[in-house]
Copies of this chain bind each other. A is one copy, B any other.
Amino acid sequence: MAGSSFGTIFKVTTWGESHGSAIGAVVDGVPAGLDLDRSDIQPFLDRRRPGRNRFATQRQEADQVEILSGTFEGRTTGTPVSLLVRNTDQRSHDYSQIASCYRPGHADYTFDRKYGFRDYRGGGRSSGRETIGRTAAGAIASKILSSMGVEIHAFVSSVGPVAMTKAARELGPEDFRLASLSALAMPDPEAEKQAAAFLDECIRSGDSAGGTVTCIAANLPAGLGEPVFDKLDALLGHALFSIGAVKAVEIGSGVSAASMTGSEHNDTWRMSEDGKAERAGNCAGGVLGGISDGSLLQIRVSFKPTPSISKPQQTLFSDGHIGEIRIAGRHDPFIPARAAVVVESMTAITLLDLMMQNMTSRMDSLLRFYGQS
């Protein structure tokens, strides 16, 4: 069954495995007339590229993207944009030990059960490398959104027990600049220092850590989301849970909503100092009834710790016995730092698709477009 496409009008199809020859995406529904070359896409890939610092796997991949179709003289033509990244450092011998067992926390067991066998050289399609395609597609979506004034930022908001202190809605350009320079994609240098120390300790003990990514979108128009099944939050839930290792998605108040009362949770209205009606809080996180309300969109995504750890673990072998495994090889001790740009990309893809869908929601829009008013 086909599960490799996402989106309705702006549709992304990804392909490729960690140890195949290449990885890529076909981005369909890109509007014609967008200036686009690989320099628009490469920075997104660089943010998730391995090997850049001690908190990422040491696999060496340049992850250089090639645009194979869909542009002419530097502009998109309205036809599908095909994106290709060659794998160069597959080193499959690192993975030979895992052919005969099911690594705890990995998809080895479930792929075997579903498909009858698996590509035992690594994560295959469940590897983090699969996210290259969606990140490249997200770069295109982000560029289009940016031209319409929408700005999306995803960053690491906690590492294990260490959380940043500033609230997401108080962050500004300088914070996002700091996050872009941070090895852990954190906008808070103080928290980052503690987080790095915590991660170093995890690495030393052959362990790994979980964490959260927060994503915000500013200047989003009101009206995005298609009730009842394609609500803004429903499509974000779909998009973000499709990223490996995600265990929770929260919008606005998230899990804390469950222990609040209505009078605490409702975002009442007030007049701002410059005379504009605004909401006093943002428990809604920018979404009411599944439709954007023009406030800041606020999302939090919880990632589990990397399942590949070098500590010994008991696991199931394909011959049926239980035995010990110690996972060697090159692994990220922490997923969110590299996954932040993936969260940002999936958010961008979702928002752009909904912005396009929303253009047809009213008769007056149709009449205006087709010159009848």
Q: Is A240 an interface residue (CB 8 A)?
A: yes
A156-184 interface code vs B (CB 8 A; 1 in, 0 out):
00101100000000000000000000000
Task: Tell me the count of chain A residues lying within 8 A, CB to CB, of chain B.
Answer: 167
Select the stretch in A55-63, A185-193, A242-250 that faces chain B. A242-250
Is A48 an interface position by the 8 A CB rule?
A: no
Number of copies: 4
Whether the pair A322, B242 counts as a contact (CB closer than 8 A) is no
Report if A241-B250 is in contact (Cβ < 8 Å); known contacts: A31-B365, A257-B305.
no
* A15-B68 contact given A115-B33, A257-B210, A361-B1, CB 8 Å threshold: yes
- Of the listed residues A22, A262, A306, the one surrounded by the most CB atoms of chain B closer than 10 A to its CB is A262
Given contacts A79-B125, A262-B306, A284-B105, contact A114 B16 (CB under 8 A): no
Give A126's nearest chain B residue, CB to CB: B289
The listed residue with most B CB atoms (<10 A of its CB), out of A149, A241, A242, A311, is A241
Shortest CB-to-CB span from A206 to chain B, Å, is 8
Do B266 and A32 touch (CB < 8 A)? no
CB closest residue in chain B, given A252 = B247
| Other-chain residue from B82, B106, B262 in contact with A207 (beta carbon distance below 8 A) | B262
Provided the pairs A68-B24, A366-B356 are in contact, do residues A5 and B16 lie with their beta carbons within 8 angstroms?
A: no
Cβ distance A65 to chain B, nearest Cβ, rounded Å: 13
Which B residues touch A292, using CB under 8 A? 110
Measured between beta carbons, the chain B residues less than 8 angstroms from A81 are: 15
A77 touches B (CB below 8 Å) = yes
Q: Does A21 contact B (CB under 8 A)?
A: yes
Pair A228/B4 contact, Cβ less than 8 Å: yes
Check if B252 sits within 8 Å of A249, measured CB to CB.
no
Q: Is the CB of B363 within 8 A of A258?
A: no
Instruction: Determine whether the beta carbon of B257 is less than 8 Å from that of A255.
Output: no
A79 to B229, CA, bound (A): 12
Given A22-B69, A254-B247, A289-B106: A277 and B316 interface contact (C-beta under 8 Å): yes
Cβ contacts under 8 Å, A291 to chain B: 107, 110-111, 113-114
A80-B15, A158-B259, A241-B251 given as contacts; is B360 within 8 A of A359 (CB)?
Answer: yes
In Å, the complex CA distance between A135 and B84 comes to 21
Query: How close is A39's CB to chain B, nearest CB, in angstroms?
Result: 17
Contacts beyond the supplied A13-B28, A32-B114, A77-B125: 6 A-B pairs with Cβ under 8 Å: A2-B226, A22-B82, A110-B288, A238-B238, A242-B290, A262-B307
Subset of 28 A-B contacts with CB under 8 Å = A1-B9, A1-B356, A2-B80, A4-B229, A13-B13, A14-B80, A16-B80, A17-B69, A17-B70, A17-B72, A22-B82, A31-B366, A32-B115, A32-B363, A72-B124, A107-B290, A111-B291, A115-B362, A116-B364, A158-B259, A160-B260, A202-B262, A210-B259, A229-B242, A235-B238, A247-B258, A248-B257, A355-B366
| Nearest 6 interchain pairs by C-beta | A107-B289, A3-B226, A237-B237, A3-B230, A238-B238, A237-B241
